[in-house]
Amino acid sequence: MDIGGRVIVFTCNSCVAGFGASKPREDIKLYHTENEKILYLPQNNAFVKLSEDLAEKRISVDLFVFGNNQFDLANFSPICNNTGGSCFFYPIDSQKSNDMKQKFEKLHYNLTRILTRENYYDVKFMLRHSLGFEVIEILGPFNKRLGSGLSLPSCDPDLSFTFMMRINDNLKPESRYHFQLVSLFVDNYNQRYLRIINYTLLTTNDISNYLCINFTFRRSDLFKH
């Protein structure tokens, strides 16, 4: 099966005309009002549909955007969020003489990070667990997803997501409950790997032994060869 790749886009187009065009929004007037949530919603689903097509072809997109406050990032950032890419926005302040130089320096470091870090493609995750637990949803830059698994065109050390779980049964004291995270991915050299991480928790009735459990799977654990 052919694997997609990564597309890096540099733009200063405010996207007010053409494909996925959006109207400039008066952000200041909407802050601290019931309509503030509109600022975080796309004005149309053109880029959402495009991101779905790219994800199916396993293509990740990174955006580097220069401009002023007319940019509606909520409208076209899904093309990055849904494909495992990143969206960088550099607002330009024309009142500062060295503002462009500072923004170009940020661009340099952000781009260097993308090109030199370990990137993985056609990534699939699946969480398995003992009876008594249920995965409610998966949260990440791609918003919410249902089920116990997800797939992304690309994954890297800067991306994170969370499995939200519910206990739907009475757990037995002093019992062990098991969790297993499975990761299938392709590295930069087109080699496919399967990585499995097992985790076990021991239940207790003693409040002094209670700990707030946070499942943290490090990138080095997930993608170790």
What confidence tens digit (pLDDT) does each residue in 45-104 have?
899 999 999 999 999 999 999 886 667 888 889 999 999 999 999 988 888 888 889 999
Reported confidence tier of residue 29, pLDDT bands at 50, 70, 90: confident
Which residue from 33, 50, 54, 31 is spatially nearest to 42, judged by alpha carbons? Answer: 50
pLDDT computed for residue 144 by the predictor: 87
Q: Looking at this protein, which amino acid is placed at residue 213?
A: I
DSSP state of 77: T
Per residue in 109-168, pLDDT (tens digit) is 999 999 999 899 999 999 999 999 999 999 988 888 999 999 999 999 898 889 999 999
pLDDT the model gives residue 104: 93
- Sign (positive/negative) of CA torsion 88, 93, 94, 100? negative
In the chain, what are the domains? 5-116 (3.40.50.410), 120-222 (2.60.40.1670)
Taking residues 12-33, what's their average pLDDT? Answer: 78
The token duo for 109 is 């470091």
Could you report the per-residue pLDDT of 166-217, keeping only the tens digit for each?
Answer: 999 888 888 999 999 999 999 888 899 999 999 998 888 877 666 555 555 5
221 pLDDT above the threshold of 90: no
Distance CA 165, CA 92 (A): 42
Tokens 């002094």, residue located: 208
Name residue 30's amino acid. L
Contact (CB, 8 A) for 133 and 102 = no
Looking at per-residue pLDDT, the higher value among 22 and 123 belongs to: 123
pLDDT computed for residue 215 by the predictor: 55
* Burial zone of 194 (CB within 10 Å; 0-12 exposed, 13-18 middle, 19+ buried): exposed
- Residue 41 corresponds to which tokens in the numbers above? 């919603």
Q: Are 147 and 124 within 8 A, CB to CB?
A: no
Could you say which DSSP state residue 58 is in? T
Locus of tokens 């209670």 = 210
- pTM of the predicted model as reported, rounded to 2 decimal places: 0.81
